């Protein structure tokens, strides 16, 4: 992948970054005028670049007919807008911009165009006099089928150990079988010997494979299956397993589970990751020949393993009873190991500088207990999950990630059909979940781009935003308020262009998608387009800090946990 304009934009980024620092100290005076002049020069270059978005910022893919439809318009004054049908230029809707909203995190005055009444299937655009027209978008009942397929196939295209081939928008992507020596036991047992750990998915823009990040990823995908299974089962992912006895989404998860089984030791402990000692270069995966090692075990990985294996056993049982039994046996052995090792045991990663993905195991143990109970009915697991839910006061967080997976356990426990739960605790968690969803709705409503995570821009925040759809849907099951679904749709809209950049954050999807993700495959091949179907991490630490530049691993990397969350968010509006 080449980056012809990289030098120009990097010079500008550097200058505008310096400008921000100076501005925070000196608001007036000559220095201000001088720096502003430099900045204006740079932003002109930016505006001329083909990637720059216009003032009409919205979900650039589209809407199902029944969804609310909003665009954010960055303009100083309000006024009217119209929705124009692309095919014949007909004006199908006229409205008045609502606002202004003073948006805090981007420091902009914003207006909102509401064209929810446009329900007739078709292709349209929003036009505001005096501004460049918005991007074309579709209104269609099946508008999410292709995006869902693309993003879920992203997991398939992350498979390690096999040759892959994909075509998208005229570009052809290929991978040769990679990492066939995974992995070496030196750091796990002190013995220089190989043990099979081939397969699984690469983690992200790097090629390592981490059990704890698989946790939140598989967790979100399993929730998608539990919440929307029949709709998902109808989508053919075009993977080698398609048409077989196991529905495609579960077959893709199974690919990862097959690998997870290799990460388990005979006594039930689970190795933390398979990794090179340091991050490798931007080369195709089959060219990476530096040794990859089993990284010592930890209780966080072991607990996530129990949760994933027990959860998968439960959902795959109707399609492959023998495999379900195998998963359950594996979960049983690691569950017993955890019981015998009740204290948090950190993986010893001292020989490795790759992603640590290490965090306290209490939330992981909560999730493990919930899934183990849901799969087996084990009363000790029920006591444990309830004790752990009490220990966090029945709290339900507005989102979650690899370091904090309690929400996943709480939801499995809450929606299980098994009997025996503490009714008071159930009532508390139900109240908390609804209150959490109300908070999310209020946060989105106060934000100029309807971002349900508000003004918080953690590393990988795009994944955190997508994961809020999980919480909103869970609340909707308890209390069917349309605002919950609307906020979940706003999460998707934000990721697909309703943001300050006016760009989609998913490669190969929507308008002006990322072209230079921090992805070793995309950087290591000669295809101009990046591998398609990947959500980049997103702005960090501020709303304006997203850089479509390969070196920007804090904002422009791709990762399985972000795609897993987006799979959930895109599944919710698939045709019934
Ligand atoms: O490329 C690495 C990326 O995949 C990781 O997410 C990131 C954070 O752990 O680190 C990147 O590697 C960088 C390293 O941490 C510091 N030197 C520059 C590397 C970027 O190429
Ligand atoms: O997503 C991870 C983020 O929450 C952490 O703050 C960050 C630093 O440890 O690492 C991120 O995960 C990266 C991992 O360490 C290595 N593979 C790429 C991941 C995405 O950037
Ligand atoms: Zn590989």
pLDDT in tens, 423-471: 999 999 999 999 999 999 999 999 999 999 999 999 999 999 999 999 9
Query: Of the ligands numbered here, which is closest to the C-alpha atom of 458?
Result: 2
Is 265 noted as a catalytic residue in this protein? no
Task: Using pLDDT thresholds of 50, 70 and 90, give the confidence band for residue 53.
Answer: confident
Query: Of the ligands numbered here, which is closest to the C-alpha atom of 520?
Result: 1
14 in helix, strand or coil? Answer: helix
Question: Would the CB of 536 count as within 6 Å of ligand 2?
Answer: no
**Three-state secondary structure string covering 440-491:** HHHHHHHCCCCCCCCCCCCCCHHHHHHHHHHHHHHHHHHCCCHHHHHHHHHH
Query: Of the ligands numbered here, which is closest to the C-alpha atom of 164?
Result: 3
Q: Which residues line ligand 1 (CB under 6 A)?
A: 204-206, 279, 355, 553, 557
Residues of the chain with CATH 2.60.40.10: 56-139
Is 325 noted as a catalytic residue in this protein? no
Average pLDDT over residues 247-251: 98
Which residues share a beta bridge with 258? none
Mutate to test the pocket of ligand 1, among 355, 518, 519, 553 (most ligand atoms within 8 A of CB): 553
* d(CA 167, ligand 2 centre) in Å: 28
CA distance 176 to 165: 9
Q: Alpha helix locations (H) across 317-405? A: 321-340, 362-376, 379-391
- Closest C-alpha residue for ligand 2 atom 8: 355
Is 557 noted as a catalytic residue in this protein? yes
215 within 8 A of 284, measured Cβ to Cβ: no
* d(CA 155, ligand 3 centre) in Å: 13
* CA 402 to ligand 2: nearest atom: 4
Choose the catalytic residue: 206, 363, 371, 384: 206
Q: Which residue has the higher pLDDT, 16 or 141?
A: 141
Task: Using pLDDT thresholds of 50, 70 and 90, give the confidence band for residue 511.
Answer: very high
* CA 355 to ligand 1: nearest atom: 9
Query: Of the ligands numbered here, which is closest to the C-alpha atom of 289?
Result: 3
Angle at 406 between CA 376 and CA 225, to 5 degrees: 60
Rg (alpha carbons) of the chain, rounded to whole number: 24
What CATH class is the domain 56-139?
mainly beta
CATH number at 180-421? 1.50.10.10
Looking at residue 51, what is its pLDDT? 64
Full-model pTM = 0.92
* d(CA 551, ligand 1 centre) in Å: 9
Residues of the chain with CATH 1.50.10.10: 180-421
- Closest C-alpha residue for ligand 1 atom 12: 279
- Closest C-alpha residue for ligand 1 atom 10: 553
136 in helix, strand or coil? Answer: coil
Is 548 noted as a catalytic residue in this protein? yes
* d(CA 365, ligand 1 centre) in Å: 29
Question: Would the CB of 559 count as within 6 Å of ligand 2?
Answer: yes
Choose the catalytic residue: 135, 519, 548, 573: 548
* d(CA 566, ligand 3 centre) in Å: 23
The residues near 14 (Cβ < 8 Å, ≥ 6 apart) are: none
* d(CA 241, ligand 3 centre) in Å: 19
Element (H, E) at 102: strand 98-103
pLDDT of residue 39 exceeding 60? no
Task: Using pLDDT thresholds of 50, 70 and 90, give the confidence band for residue 371.
Answer: very high
pLDDT in tens, 468-496: 999 999 999 999 999 999 999 999 999 99
């Amino acid at each position: 992948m080449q980056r012809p304009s990289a030098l120009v934009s990097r010079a500008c980024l550097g200058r505008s970054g310096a400008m921000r620092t100076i501005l925070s100290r000196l608001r007036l005076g000559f220095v201000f005028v001088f720096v502003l002049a430099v900045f204006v020069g740079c932003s002109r270059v930016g505006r001329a670049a083909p990637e720059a978005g216009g003032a009409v910022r919205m979900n650039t893919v589209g809407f199902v007919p029944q969804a609310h439809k909003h665009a954010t318009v960055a303009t100083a004054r309000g006024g009217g807008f119209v929705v124009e049908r692309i095919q014949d230029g007909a004006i199908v809707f006229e409205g008045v911009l609502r606002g202004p909203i003073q948006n805090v995190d981007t420091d902009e005055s914003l207006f909102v165009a509401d064209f929810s009444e446009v329900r007739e299937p078709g292709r349209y655009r929003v036009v505001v006099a005096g501004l460049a027209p918005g991007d074309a978008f579709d209104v269609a009942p099946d508008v999410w089928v292709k995006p869902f397929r693309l993003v879920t196939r992203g997991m398939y295209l992350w498979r390690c150990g096999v040759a892959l081939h994909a075509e998208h928008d005229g570009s052809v992507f290929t991978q040769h079988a990679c990492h066939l020596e995974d992995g070496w036991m030196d750091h796990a047992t002190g013995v220089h010997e190989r043990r099979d750990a081939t397969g699984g998915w690469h983690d992200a823009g790097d090629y390592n494979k981490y059990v704890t990040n698989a946790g939140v990823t598989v967790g979100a995908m399993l929730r998608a299956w539990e919440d929307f299974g029949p709709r998902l089962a109808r989508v053919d992912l075009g993977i080698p397993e398609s048409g077989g006895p196991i529905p495609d989404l579960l077959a893709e998860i199974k690919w990862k589970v097959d690998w997870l089984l290799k990460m388990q030791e005979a006594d039930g402990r689970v190795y933390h990751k398979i990794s090179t000692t340091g991050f490798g270069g931007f080369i195709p995966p089959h060219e990476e020949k530096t040794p990859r090692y089993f990284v010592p075990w930890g209780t966080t990985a072991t607990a996530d393993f129990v949760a994933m294996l027990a959860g998968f056993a439960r959902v795959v049982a109707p399609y492959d009873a023998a495999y379900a039994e195998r998963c359950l046996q594996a979960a049983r052995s690691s569950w017993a190991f955890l019981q015998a090792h009740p204290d948090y045991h950190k993986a010893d990663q001292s020989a490795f500088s790759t992603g640590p993905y290490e965090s306290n195991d209490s939330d992981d143990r909560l999730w493990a207990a919930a899934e183990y109970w849901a799969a087996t009915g084990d009363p000790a697991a029920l006591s444990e999950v309830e004790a752990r839910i009490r220990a966090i006061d029945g709290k339900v967080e507005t989102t979650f990630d690899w370091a904090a997976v309690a929400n996943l356990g709480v939801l499995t426990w809450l929606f299980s059909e098994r009997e025996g739960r503490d009714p008071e605790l159930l009532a508390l968690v139900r109240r908390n979940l609804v209150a959490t969803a109300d908070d999310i709705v209020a946060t989105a409503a106060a934000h100029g781009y309807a971002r349900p995570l508000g003004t918080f821009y953690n590393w990988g925040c795009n994944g955190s935003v997508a994961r809020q759809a999980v919480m909103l849907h869970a609340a909707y099951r308890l209390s069917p308020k349309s605002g919950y679904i609307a906020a979940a749709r706003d999460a998707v809209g934000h990721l697909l262009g309703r943001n300050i950049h006016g760009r989609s954050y998913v490669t190969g999807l929507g308008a002006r998608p990322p072209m230079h993700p921090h992805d070793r495959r995309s950087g290591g091949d000669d295809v101009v387009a990046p591998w398609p179907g990947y959500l980049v991490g997103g702005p960090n630490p501020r709303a304006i800090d997203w850089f479509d530049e390969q070196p920007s691993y804090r904002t422009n990397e791709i990762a399985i946990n972000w795609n897993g969350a987006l799979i959930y968010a895109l599944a919710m509006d698939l045709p019934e």
